[in-house]
Amino acid sequence: MSIAVQVQQGYQRGTRLLSTYLEPLGLLLMRLLVARVFLQSGLSKWHGWFDFNETKYDLFLYEFFCPDPVRPGALLLCDPVTLDYQSGSLTVTLIESLALLAGIAEVVLPVLLIVGLLTRPAALGLIVMTLFIQLAVFPTWGHWWNPAAWWFVVLFGVFAVGPGALSLDRVFKLENRRA
């Protein structure tokens, strides 16, 4: 057996060992890293169990969808001249519903990532949220490169590879991959 073949086989054994032991840990750390960001944001929208922080409606109404000054390319849902909404309008109701839905999703989806349960759907939900934030709320390259790109890449990695061995998906046999 040549030295080149021995080096190749040794390298392959080493990478198998690394994959066996480090891949599950890496996937867990990826899940925890991105879950922390969204969970902190989600928890800031609540006073406690089933008690939504209604001041967050203003965040959605006036920072995200009617900022002053207007962000070019962002989704503007208020009157562009007065930068206000018609009281009781369907738009206000939809934005407040979106705020509540985001508050729920930003808590539930990261918790699912942390424990590794329904990991791929949870990652996909946060990918959609990340893309919505990027395209509709902060449509600039500066926001994409920091922080949205790393959220997207980590979530995409978890979505593509799965939760890894250190997950409830594996315990409940929802994922059968080696990692």
Q: What is the pLDDT of residues 42-52, one digit of tens each?
A: 999 999 888 99
Would you say 150 and 144 are in contact if contact means Cβ atoms under 8 Å apart? Answer: no
Q: Any bridge partners for residue 52, and if so which?
A: 46
Does residue 44 sit within a domain?
yes
Number of domains in the chain: 1
Q: Which domain holds residue 50?
A: 31-171
Question: What is the length of the chain?
Answer: 179
Phi then psi for 47, rounded to 5 degrees?
Answer: -85, -30
Tell me the mean pLDDT in the region 24-41.
Answer: 96
Q: How many Å apart are CA 101 and CA 50, to the nearest integer?
A: 12
The better pLDDT of the pair 176, 12 is held by 12
Tell me the mean pLDDT in the region 115-133.
Answer: 97
Does residue 118 sit within a domain?
yes
Q: How many Å apart are CA 15 and CA 9, to the nearest integer?
A: 10
Does residue 48 sit within a domain?
yes
> Considering the chain, what percentage of its residues have pLDDT values greater than 70?
98
Would you say 52 and 100 are in contact if contact means Cβ atoms under 8 Å apart? Answer: yes
Please, what is the average pLDDT of the chain? Answer: 92
As a dihedral over the C-alpha atoms of residue 138, residue 141, residue 146, residue 151, rounded to 10 degrees, the angle is: 70
Tell me the mean pLDDT in the region 77-93.
Answer: 88
Does residue 25 sit within a domain?
no
Q: Residue 122: which region, alpha, beta or left (left: phi > 0; alpha: psi -120 to 50)?
A: alpha
- pLDDT-based confidence at residue 13 (cuts at 50, 70, 90): very high
Q: Residue 81: which region, alpha, beta or left (left: phi > 0; alpha: psi -120 to 50)?
A: alpha
pLDDT at position 131, please?
A: 95
pLDDT at position 179, please?
A: 45
Whether the per-residue pLDDT at 177 is higher than 70: the answer is: no
Whether the per-residue pLDDT at 178 is higher than 80: the answer is: no
16-29 tens-digit pLDDT = 998 888 999 999 99
Does residue 163 sit within a domain?
yes
pLDDT at position 176, please?
A: 80
Whether the per-residue pLDDT at 113 is higher than 90: the answer is: yes
Q: How many Å apart are CA 151 and CA 50, to the nearest integer?
A: 27
